[in-house]
A and B are shown apart, each in its own frame.
Chain A
Amino acid sequence: MQCALCKAKKCIKGQNCAGLTETDIENSYSTEDRRLLSAAANVESRHYMQLSRIEESAMLAKEMGCSVIGLAFCIGLANEASHIAQYFQKYFTVHSVCCKICGTDKDQLGLAKRQADQTEVMCNPAIQAKVLNDAGTELNFSVGLCIAHEMIFNRYSNAPVASLVAKDQLLAHNPLGAVYSANWRKMKLGI
């Protein structure tokens, strides 16, 4: 499948390129998935183009009937996470976990360091997930976790996860800057 390179995008008019039956498609979604889909459709249909991602996330959680929310954030975005937590606390009980939780040195798992002779604490995404699982969060949001750490966090989180922020250390957390800017697109990405 190469949808990204398709110019027609006839799926939006109802074309089924994947060759799946309606039953196949319906069976692909669990009861929990359907609750999420329903809540997402409600939020989109009622508030299309009215909400920022942060507001939309809170709205979705409300629509899902959640009362306990988890935030897994990167220490590099601690200030941002603080603002987000304060906003979420207006509506929910919020549990937030920093990526450096437990203060485990990278040596313990034999991880490469930026400076080999210095103490460098590893990011601990599995523990971020465990803490939020133990707290019984109903939805989790990640704030700027590193690429691989986000993958691990998503794998171990019991609650559904959405990314509030995608980290981009160079482009101030705007990864699409590399696509929007002709400088980056042509000269660095070579496309």
Chain B
Amino acid sequence: MKTEGKCAMCKVEKAICRQKDGSHPAFCSTVLYPQAIEKAACEYEKSGIKPFAYNASVQEAECYIDRQAVPSYKYPVKPRVQEIIEFSRKMGYRKLGVAFCGGLHREADIFCKILEDHGFEVISVVCKVGGIDKATIGIQESEKVQIGKFETMCNPIAQAEILNVAETDFNIIVGLCVGHDSLFMKYSQAMATVFAVKDRVLGHNPLAAIYNYHSYYERFQQDRIKKVDVVEPS
């Protein structure tokens, strides 16, 4: 069987991807895919990509303060909302698009206000834009969230097309559903980033399930997803 990259499994302390004289496991992506890495290096030279990649890395470093200190330490100080504002400024963006899920309407409202208060023009588009019946994409009655009721489809392609027409410089996703976010990113002409990822159960913090993998979310250690009933005090 062909060896494929499995970086997530790597336990090498001084890895070749971090230092030139480092070592690597058999499934090391750095060793297995030299052509892809070479191709990527050419992509970074492209005029539309270079400043974006450059500023993203500058922004990454600037999250830490006291970088001159010896001995060095990493002290992160900027939440993601601040990073998005600063990165957008570095790129010279003026017009920002926000594609949000209706379930996070209040969050999107505050987020857009923050962007506007920091000098950006903001165009926001809710997922339900267009008000199109879910049946249009083949959703059956039994496949709706609320069976038997009229339901509007999430319309991530329309969200993207609207922001394309508005000619936004940069688009930001707030809590779109799994898959709807993919479609949005596919159709968005401007570069897109994610501010929030939806997790309806875990307060939009999907990593909470990972952090509790060895305790309260151990059910993911096997291939079984348990049905959870709604329980109320009586």
Contact = CB atoms under 8 A, between A and B. Distances in A.
Contacts of B228: 49-50
A59 B233 contact: yes
B198 to A, nearest CB: 17
Contact of A49 (B73, B211, B216): B216
A61 to B, nearest CB: 8
A180 B200 CA distance: 20
B216 A183 contact: no
Contacts of A47: 231
B76 interface: yes
B38 interface: no
B73 A187 contact: yes
A111 interface: no
A56 to B, nearest CB: 10
Nearest to B226: A49
Contacts of B231: 46-47, 50-51, 55, 59
Contacts of B234: 62
Contact of B233 (A50, A91, A180, A188): A91
Contacts, number: 31
Give the size range of A's interface with the partner.
10 to 19
Do most interface residues of chain B lie in helix, strand or loop, or is the interface mixed?
loop
A180 B214 CA distance: 13
A179 B42 CA distance: 39
Contacts of B233: 55, 58-59, 61-62, 91
Given A62-B234, A180-B211, A187 B229 contact: no
B74 interface: yes
Do most interface residues of chain A lie in helix, strand or loop, or is the interface mixed?
helix
A187 B211 contact: no
A61 B211 CA distance: 29
Given A59-B231, A180-B207, A180-B211, 5 more contacts: A50-B228, A59-B233, A91-B233, A187-B73, A188-B75
A166 to B, nearest CB: 15
Contacts of B232: 55
Nearest to B79: A172
Contacts of A186: 74
A61 B74 CA distance: 45
A55 B231 CA distance: 9
Contacts of A46: 231
A183 B226 CA distance: 33
B145 to A, nearest CB: 20
Contacts of A188: 75
Contacts of A55: 231-233
Interface in A17-61: 46-47, 49-51, 55, 58-59, 61
Interface in A162-182: 176, 180
Interface in B183-234: 207, 211, 216, 226, 228-229, 231-234
B207 A187 contact: no
15 contacts: A46-B231, A49-B226, A50-B228, A50-B231, A55-B231, A55-B233, A61-B233, A62-B233, A62-B234, A176-B211, A180-B207, A183-B76, A186-B74, A187-B73, A187-B74
Interface in A119-154: none
A13 to B, nearest CB: 17
B2 to A, nearest CB: 32
A183 B74 contact: yes
A30 B207 CA distance: 40
Interface string A1-26: 00000000000000000000000000
A14 B210 CA distance: 29
Contacts of A62: 233-234
